[in-house]
Chain A
Amino acid sequence: MKPPSSQAAAAQVIALYVAWNARALLAAWIHAPYDRCGSPAFLLWAAMPFFVRLSYSLDARDSAQPPVSAVLPAAALALTFAGIITDLSVLKDIALAVAIGAFLPLRPATFLWLALSVAWMPAAGWVFKSAGVVGVNIFRLVLGAAAIPLTPLYLRREPIG
């Protein structure tokens, strides 16, 4: 396995910084009734880039790893900063989704996958509160799972770069 490029390393550092700033998610997932299925929804949602990169890693070719976006980490950093100065968690949560999205090849499906990140965001609980606690949590799991069928779209060996 090749060591990560400097761009990939920078994206990893930014993702860690953004995740640290979005750490309030953990408390929400543990304590808030509307967010109880937030963590499994997050795992379902985040499984896709994990498996995509794993499948590329198992490829014997040196150039197998998909490129890491330069735009998305910068956008994630800007969103986190906006979240800090406004103290709005939703911006920090969106930043986390965007930072993780940097590890996927940038394709139209990436934006659909990013939209599905509402599955694990506490803000979705407030928006869809009229569905009730059970309804919102089912909605979270369904949306999180909906990210998985997108995986084959990223496994095609198209020219990369």
Chain B
Amino acid sequence: MAPLGLAWECIPLADAAARTGRLPLNHGGVQSHDIPLEPAEKAVYTDVNVIKRLVTVGNEQVVLTIIDGTRNRHAVHDPGFCFRGAGWEITGRQSLPLEKGSAQLLRLQQGGETAEAVYWFTDGKEQFDSPQTYWWKTALRRMTFGHSGSEPVLVVLATTGAAPDWPALLKSWPDLQEM
């Protein structure tokens, strides 16, 4: 059983780089540029395809992070769990409708600081905000050598300032939802 387990781990899975790579830096009313990962992020995202950008959509500015855990699924965490672990208190949650599913809006507070984050997982066909669904889909994908579908990626949008009008922001950024 041990050699079979080793062999199983050696079979490569197709990642989501082709899908995430199609997201343009600048298009329509969206302007963005890549920003470097923090040292702590680099440590966590070993063997992970990560896109991190500072994005301006109209008058709003957000940080976009896209995490593809094909080669290290354990780097993709439940964002709600991560924010709590980083010391943020979740003061509110709200479901946001997307074109192919739903996202989760988190209102966060740490000391006197407040922030908001929106996250969802997407495999290109479906958008969902449940970590359990992510674990199930990625487990099934590994059991079937990728034949069950494309690798879901985690998309996180976080505020750098005042909370934006999220539905309006998402509506004016169709490239992100099509990814």
Question: Do A and B come from the same complex?
Answer: yes
CB of A29 within 8 Å of the partner chain: no
Q: Which of A12-34 contact B (CB under 8 A)?
A: 17, 21, 24, 31-34
Pair B142/A81 contact, Cβ less than 8 Å? no
Pair A81/B135 contact, Cβ less than 8 Å? no
B139 partner residues in chain A, CB cutoff 8 A: 86-88
CB of A111 within 8 Å of the partner chain: no
- A34 to B8 Cα, complex, angstroms: 30
Mostly, the B contact residues are helix
* Chain B residue with Cβ nearest A14: B2
CB of A133 within 8 Å of the partner chain: yes
CB of B93 within 8 Å of the partner chain: no
CB of B73 within 8 Å of the partner chain: yes
Pair B138/A87 contact, Cβ less than 8 Å? yes
Pair A85/B135 contact, Cβ less than 8 Å? no
* Chain B residue with Cβ nearest A18: B2
- A81 to B135 Cα, complex, angstroms: 17
A-B interface pairs (CB < 8 A), number? 45
Q: A86: shortest Cβ distance to chain B, in Å?
A: 4
Pair B74/A81 contact, Cβ less than 8 Å? no
Pair B74/A89 contact, Cβ less than 8 Å? yes
Q: B104: shortest Cβ distance to chain A, in Å?
A: 15
Q: Which of A88-141 contact B (CB under 8 A)?
A: 88-89, 125-126, 129, 132-133
Binds A, one of B27-35, B78-86, B120-128, B164-172: B78-86
Q: Which residue of B5, B43, B73 contacts A81 across the interface (Cβ within 8 Å)? A: B5
A88 partner residues in chain B, CB cutoff 8 A: 135, 139
- A32 to B143 Cα, complex, angstroms: 27
- A89 to B85 Cα, complex, angstroms: 19
Q: Which residue of A24, A32, A77, A85 contacts B8 across the interface (Cβ within 8 Å)? A: A85
CB of B1 within 8 Å of the partner chain: yes
Pair A84/B143 contact, Cβ less than 8 Å? no
Interface residues on B, range: 20 to 34
Q: Which residue of B5, B44, B84, B86 contacts A21 across the interface (Cβ within 8 Å)? A: B5
A126 partner residues in chain B, CB cutoff 8 A: 78, 81
CB of B18 within 8 Å of the partner chain: no
Given contacts A24-B74, A86-B139, A87-B73, contact A81 B84 (CB under 8 A): no
Pair B85/A84 contact, Cβ less than 8 Å? no
- A125 to B85 Cα, complex, angstroms: 10
CB of A78 within 8 Å of the partner chain: yes
- A41 to B135 Cα, complex, angstroms: 26
- A89 to B8 Cα, complex, angstroms: 15
Pair A33/B85 contact, Cβ less than 8 Å? yes
Q: B171: shortest Cβ distance to chain A, in Å?
A: 32
Pair A129/B5 contact, Cβ less than 8 Å? no
Residues of A within 8 A of B (CB): 17, 21, 24, 31-34, 77-78, 80-81, 84-89, 125-126, 129, 132-133
- Can you list 20 pairs linking A and B with CB atoms under 8 Å apart? A17-B2, A31-B44, A32-B85, A33-B86, A80-B1, A81-B1, A81-B5, A84-B5, A84-B8, A85-B142, A85-B143, A86-B139, A86-B143, A87-B139, A87-B142, A88-B135, A88-B139, A129-B80, A129-B84, A133-B84
